[in-house]
Structure 1
């Protein structure tokens, strides 16, 4: 047969199509739920006993997931016998391709010891894992939601219907309260129903299950408030979360003032207009001192909508970079009916271009409209309020000392002016005593436009700004207000809602509702008190990191919130009783980067170089049999570091990671073996870690270092990460257990010394990304392998290159991360992708500073519970990598009916199924076969999910 050129082209296209279909089939198969939803027995379980060997037999009607345990009547499990999906890939000890099963129990517990109280035990055979939302933990609508950028006040807007509070940083939160400060509902994150009605909301069809879901975008991939104009691949400089600096509410319309005006309704929808409005942000060049002289975004902190709802005015473009701070000197105008580009209404947005004429400003910081549509501008350093017509005609000037925020009574048009010092370049550079004078925070009452005479003045309960406070505490990089205040004219007597940045403790920087008594302010409600009454910790988790751990002996949950140093270690733990929801704070003996528990309830604390072991009740050290005495053990440095001496510490080879400042984890199996991750002697691209040269870390290629690390180089290896397995005495079981591994976000070990880890690299199928259209994908990959029986090979290794002739005869399976480029996992038993978040892999931002990550968890049945962050779910995999089911779906805190309502919103909407609504469930922990815990910082809570089964059959061994 002769092929023409056109036939050859058609053949090539056909082969490409077949290859793509084949790759897609692999993707679909990996992400496909494997169990059949038939959870009944054809033959119920029975047991025969011979020579102290127990044989369990049964037959199911479908290829569902089966879990078998030996437990007492209180469901304390002595032996986690088996769990997995029946069928062609059923894990041992199940028989493959069979619904009829026979399993053996040898009478031993998980640690290999013979059980002595057999007559008190029972064997449970369960079909069909069935999760159900139990309760919310550590949730309070009154709590500050982020410690990042803690000096920023919360934005407040007040209407007749209620009070809206917006908090910004890595996660955006917008909540509605009644006028007395009681929680009513969450506006953002949007509810599932509202999200479907937001016009212009970014969405994506996910490879996991071909469902189209809202798409979280931004540098940290944590926000839905970036519209279509925001590309997927963004760097930290331009887009973090929406991180709006201003909030405007007019009737049913809400506008968040970020780089763009983001619009939706008080119900969370925006059917009539696109969510993404025009740009309202400006730019500035940082100069002065040690500023970087680069161009940065500056966002408006104040906005007002005209009475007819057609025009938006913005100002208060406050900015700061390093030690340079100022505001721009203009007011912008947006026609909301046309969604056109913002124009300059008054003043100018040219940096440093200020003045004192009627159409000039020296630090324009606030804008408001009266019922006639007149526009009022707070001209801070000119000590005046400038009034304009809607056509920008100057009308009047009202003298006010250091005006910072304007409120106008909706019925009388009388003015209420808040004054405090807004840090700016004029004051910083001025030598005039008057301009440098401390500013007392006040509220002044003036008449309306026709007769704007001062009627009263009250001192605000805020510190006098003597201009000597560190500027770091007043405007953070990217800016935002240090104080926010709003008059509430919709109560019987007017009140003031006051928010402030962190100038004292976290309990002192929350919202207060102030009333008037004897010409003074009195506190009517303090949100911090509500947080305290709820038994919730006041301080938010640093870097939004809530690592979760469960003590298997007690079932108590422990929460580590990165409260040490620069947010990469812990000084304290929050201990939560999941039965009651009550919590208490525990101080650790030294600053620790990570921890884990064994089955006896001992706690293991690690630094970069040591692991100490303690009895949790007495905090007495339990020394390793083969350890090293160490003094002043800590992960941090400096005067605030907490340190302790260790009689006998485990000292794994390697050291703390480079720019990560944290390591990949450690865990202990049911039989007592510990696996731990450390960093090697060389960075991903260089041999000598120059960043740590002063610590005398030697080059990794030196033989003495390789011997110390227990590592061997081979073609294609990156020596970035290392894993080691120890027994309970501190002896090595396996050195260099995962050659070539890089950074990981969690690792675990089962009773057969199989290691499960979430490597920092996306999943590839036939050499291509599992989700090619998701070009900013920073997901990770779960890999299972036998300790010491895997090699990660990189096409891009620099130390000992892998020649093309030595490439495995298949395409790479993983891409990115600190293993280098395209990677093969030689010896892996299975992989599962599309999980976690590896922010450091954002090559479009140079790897960037992105310390946000996630953690999966393995239970004692060797089931992996893995966060699918952008998919708003948790994948549950058996020990052979079969996807059993997914837990959760997109939703906010008001969605999902829990078993126990206490601890969460009073009124929630049922969503059916497991009732688990998620926005960003990044950190997981499990009390095996009892509970799954999910730290969902996107909804600012921890979820307790009850684990049960569709069918349970129990056979008592006393018979």
Structure 2
């Protein structure tokens, strides 16, 4: 797949930042229905524009995406196009010989939407035969033999007949391979459907009546419209009687997505069922026992509970204190007050870290969300959360009060959304924190300096206009390093990538993504400014109509890091790089776009860099893929501690620890 040749090797193209993908068009929705070919290819349908990304990289409409189940990427990864861009989650099914894909579930949504497309498409998986409608008429609701009304799920039997969940007609409509009507099975509010090619049994996910129409902005929200009621088994197309049912007994105020997959690999057919409640729905294994659908519990969850390694999910931050590495902090989508703790020396899971209230009880998770945890050089841990507050705890989670407030909380440090712009705490407990005037008012940021007593000593050490910030560090001389999306006006795309990117899509990917490349600025202890100036040589928020900027009093500037603009077009400010200084004053900065970490001296010169692109199988000698020895899938944050560098590798869901050895060594006596 496309790679870019640099002076010192090759790197994959970052096709789109927000989904963190190196493949064009790889946009996935929040309800996916992949299918698997006999030769081990995973086929998915690309997402519509109703995702949280305003300008996804759609590459011409709704199309198939093809991957190997072993992680390989076929040459035809960008599979055939199904239809022009239109909404709806979309469901797909394979013909028994894997030559064709059938697709339905498309909806023209929104205030001006036309509603369900009411058709089924057929396309050759190899792309040699174009897509065409074989069932229904576009935007015309039908019934009986004449069409469909809001079709959703789709499946095929061993004879190639096509089963469609005809939600609006309360039935599973069945058609011959050429699209002519064959039969139907009455069932209220059907969604996903599967057919056993061994027994002919038909399994239907029945949902509650959808509460939001296609014109509503919440139509796609699983919490409102896709609430699982039960899974029904019908004998076959010839025997339409209900044989068994699995009832959703999980209590939830909202829906969870209503997902179901059929597994024919065992002696008895099994269904994997999830999305039964809002948030943290288990994945149940439901075995077909003939006259009953029997839940065998949640074996995947059970295995996870037994897993002593405690594998990580979203890794935005890595916090190191003493011999502990703390990660998987409370964050958006991770509603918990608990972080995982690992040994800094071995990486073994050793327990959890839970901040405490003043009475010793566990802290409320809502007090910790929407921020990040930082290890201070004073040995304490700081949580910048709720877009406004800073909380201080010791290494065991006990509150450390500020003298100015009498509590461990100080307020007035606004940012917004789900992650702040970083924070640094020196050995004296002095806090350096970027802050806005109010929630999400990020056009004018100021770095505030707060004493260990919680009192603000400097309201405006560094002022930043019109550019998003991400990352801050302070050396022992008091010099301040900040990450900022302020870049030279004449090189919004860095020189080492300029002219080497593949052609843009209509949504301007990948060029807009590479304009998110940030800069590292070093300012003296007296501070400085990055301010709006119509004649300025720098620009901020580069993928939009950029703000012209002038940089004042910076000691040097290096083009490194990633600061996504706050918005859903390209990236999200909850993913911005974090860098750190080691005990020798060397600055370690992750570079997402080159899949490595750079090491700079105090003058901004590159000393070295380490790491290259690789997946989670690459873990050095003895691992399944021993080369590269130091591999990153998405190096986002760096922390230096104890002679090691700890890197949060987000896509690979891990923390990578790197230890440096000396190239040369000498001993001298000290008088």
Structure 2 equivalent of residue 418 of structure 1: 204
Match for residue 929 of structure 1 among 620, 640, 643: 643
Shift of 1:678: 1.5
Larger radius of gyration: 1
- The 3 A distance-change label for structure 1 pair 409 and 863 is same
- The 3 A distance-change label for structure 1 pair 581 and 326 is farther
Structure 2 equivalent of residue 575 of structure 1: 341
Match for residue 623 of structure 1 among 399, 402, 426: 402
Shift of 1:313: 0.4
Deviations 1:463-502 (A, max 9, x none): 499xx954xx35xxxxxxx222233222123222222254
Identify the structure with the greater helix proportion.
Answer: 1
Q: Take 1:328 and 1:816, find their aligned partners in 2: how far apart are those partners? A: 38
Structure 2 equivalent of residue 556 of structure 1: 325
Q: Take 1:883 and 1:909, find their aligned partners in 2: how far apart are those partners? A: 29
Higher mean Cα deviation, 358-367 or 761-770? 761-770
- The 3 A distance-change label for structure 1 pair 884 and 280 is farther
Structure 2 equivalent of residue 799 of structure 1: none
Shift of 1:555: 3.8
Structure 1 equivalent of residue 506 of structure 2: none
SS of aligned partner of 1:532 = helix
Structure 2 equivalent of residue 674 of structure 1: 431
Matches within 5 A, 1:568-647: 571-578=337-344, 579=346, 580-589=348-357, 591-592=367-368, 593-606=371-384, 611-617=390-396, 619-624=398-403, 627=404, 629=405, 646-647=406-407
1:408 and 2:195 matched: yes
Match for residue 63 of structure 2 among 260, 268, 286: 260
CA contact (8 A) 2:250 2:277 kept: no
- The 3 A distance-change label for structure 1 pair 727 and 257 is same
- The 3 A distance-change label for structure 1 pair 486 and 870 is same
CA RMSD, Structure 1 to Structure 2 (Å): 4.2
- The 3 A distance-change label for structure 1 pair 583 and 908 is farther
- The 3 A distance-change label for structure 1 pair 663 and 937 is closer
CA contact (8 A) 2:413 2:434 kept: no
- The 3 A distance-change label for structure 1 pair 241 and 387 is closer
Shift of 1:933: 3.1
Q: Take 2:655 and 2:382, find their aligned partners in 1: how far apart are those partners? A: 25
Question: Could you list the runs of 5+ residues in structure 1 that have no partner in the other structure?
Answer: 1-200, 228-238, 284-296, 430-435, 475-481, 630-645, 682-688, 693-717, 797-803, 900-906
- The 3 A distance-change label for structure 1 pair 456 and 735 is closer
Aligned residues: 617
Structure 2 equivalent of residue 745 of structure 1: 470
CA contact (8 A) 1:445 1:457 kept: yes
Q: Take 2:339 and 2:566, find their aligned partners in 1: how far apart are those partners? A: 27
Shift of 1:247: 0.6
- The 3 A distance-change label for structure 1 pair 418 and 210 is same
Matches within 5 A, 1:706-721: 720-721=444-445
Match for residue 298 of structure 1 among 88, 101, 122: 88
With the length of structure 2 as denominator, give the TM-score of the two structures: 0.79
Structure 2 equivalent of residue 685 of structure 1: none
SS of aligned partner of 1:949 = coil
Matches within 5 A, 1:392-471: 392-412=179-199, 414-421=200-207, 423-424=209-210, 441-447=230-236, 452-454=238-240, 457-463=243-249, 470=254
Q: Take 1:224 and 1:818, find their aligned partners in 2: how far apart are those partners? A: 22
SS of aligned partner of 1:264 = strand
Shift of 1:584: 0.9
Match for residue 880 of structure 1 among 590, 595, 603: 603
Deviations 1:507-561 (A, max 9, x none): xx132223356845031652122222224779x86xx56222211x344334423
Shift of 1:428: 11
Higher relative contact order (CA 8 A, sep 6+): 1
CA contact (8 A) 2:331 2:372 kept: no
- The 3 A distance-change label for structure 1 pair 819 and 866 is farther
Deviations 1:65-117 (A, max 9, x none): xxxxxxxxxxxxxxxxxxxxxxxxxxxxxxxxxxxxxxxxxxxxxxxxxxxxx
Structure 2 equivalent of residue 226 of structure 1: 24
CA contact (8 A) 1:762 1:814 kept: yes
Shift of 1:848: 8.6
Question: Could you list the runs of 5+ residues in structure 2 that have no partner in the other structure?
Answer: 47-61, 216-224, 358-362, 502-510
1:492 and 2:267 matched: yes
Deviations 1:160-202 (A, max 9, x none): xxxxxxxxxxxxxxxxxxxxxxxxxxxxxxxxxxxxxxxxx45
Shift of 1:271: 4.9
Shift of 1:422: 5.9
Shift of 1:278: 0.6
Q: Take 1:403 and 1:610, find their aligned partners in 2: how far apart are those partners? A: 47
Structure 2 equivalent of residue 910 of structure 1: 626
Structure 1 equivalent of residue 284 of structure 2: 512
CA contact (8 A) 2:93 2:103 kept: yes
Deviations 1:229-271 (A, max 9, x none): xxxxxxxxxx865767221111123211113111233444455
Q: Take 1:561 and 1:744, find their aligned partners in 2: how far apart are those partners? A: 21
CA contact (8 A) 1:673 1:728 kept: yes
- The 3 A distance-change label for structure 1 pair 389 and 815 is closer
Matches within 5 A, 1:12-31: none
SS of aligned partner of 1:752 = coil
Q: Take 1:455 and 1:732, find their aligned partners in 2: how far apart are those partners? A: 73
- The 3 A distance-change label for structure 1 pair 680 and 343 is same
